[in-house]
Amino acid sequence: MYKIDISERTLHFKQPAGTSRGVYTTRHSYYLTLTSPEVPGIEGVGECATLPDLSCDAKPEYEVTLRQVCQMVEQMGRIPYDMIRAYPSITFGLETAFASFFAAAKRNAVASSAAFSEDAQQGFTVPAWAKNLADLYDSSFGRGEEGITINGLVWMGTYEEMLARLEEKLKAGFHCVKLKIGAIDFHKELDLVKRIREVYGKDQIELRVDANGGFSPEDAMSRLEALAQYDIHSIEQPIKQHQWPKMAQLCKESPLPIALDEELIGVNVRSMKEALLDTIRPQYIILKPSLHGGIYGCTEWIQLAEQRGIGSWITSALESNVGLNAIAHYAAKMYGPNVAMPQGLGTGQLFTDNIPMPLEIRGDKLFFSPL
């Protein structure tokens, strides 16, 4: 039996976070605190966070739905995955609440010298449906033995602002930098990329760009060709989602590898995921658990992509440190030790009032300090 309490909080960005879709200045999230009378004193916390005008579950009735789903989980004693596929952020919040609950129960058992196994925590049995969540924090990253390589993120702004932010990331020691593009004059953005490459070769700095669907289908190919001359690793979502034939053509003909992001939002059924990947055939997909089905849904995406020779990496979706922490542990668990591909997990420093969490960026790696 479980009890779930719901709270909410609004975080504030240190500086406006600009994309081709618009500018974020605040971030609102709901937090789930999960307890059980079977394990007194233990709690797990998860974050449910939608992005306005982007998340498929960002609806006016969201809070009502969240409370109904949490009541259902309390009654059923499990996450009803098939019933809430249309609510990826709620799925992720519940998954991480359970994962942190099990991790806390394990720490408590070890601290009290009680016997512990995957099947028993102070007499508490981990249900079969949650086995994959019970060991989410059990990795070399989770034990503080190694960090995860991450990319630096340069938000959209004026040419001067983007250049200053870029130089800041390079001085901090990042070897992979992602530029948000698609809103200011493309020739200025291209000049910024050119300026980087005049100083740093591809062996020194890996460059990624994210258009957030900012290119028109008519201009996309010429812009991809222009960017390709500067050894760009990949471009995320060059045109708006839901244009499968046009995106498929770009993926087939582009001199620049294409990564899908927004395209995956709202595609929550396995057969539709297969259809999307088989039709578009991207070079990469980018997974955000709050947007793409939680841990369950993202794992399905990654497995389907691997079967088709499509690469992937995991990023946050501007969650607080609660969500970011869980996503980082998931990335470490999903890709194994010594994660080679830089992940998009450097967003914890974006807020003035983030929730404290034992996460630390050293150079271009994210580290976790276990309690």
Catalytic residue set: 180, 288
The radius of gyration of the chain from alpha carbons, rounded to an integer in Å, stands at 21
Closest CA relative to residue 362, chosen from 164, 173, 151, 236 = 173
Greatest distance between any 2 Cα atoms in the chain: 65
Closest CA relative to residue 181, chosen from 244, 226, 246, 247 = 226
Q: How far apart are CA 135 and CA 99, in angstroms?
A: 7
Q: How far apart are CA 231 and CA 46, in angstroms?
A: 39
- Sign of the CA dihedral running 12, 14, 292, 57: positive
**Edge-first strand listing for the sheet containing 22-35:** 3-19, 22-35, 43-48
Closest CA relative to residue 264, chosen from 339, 322, 326, 213 = 213
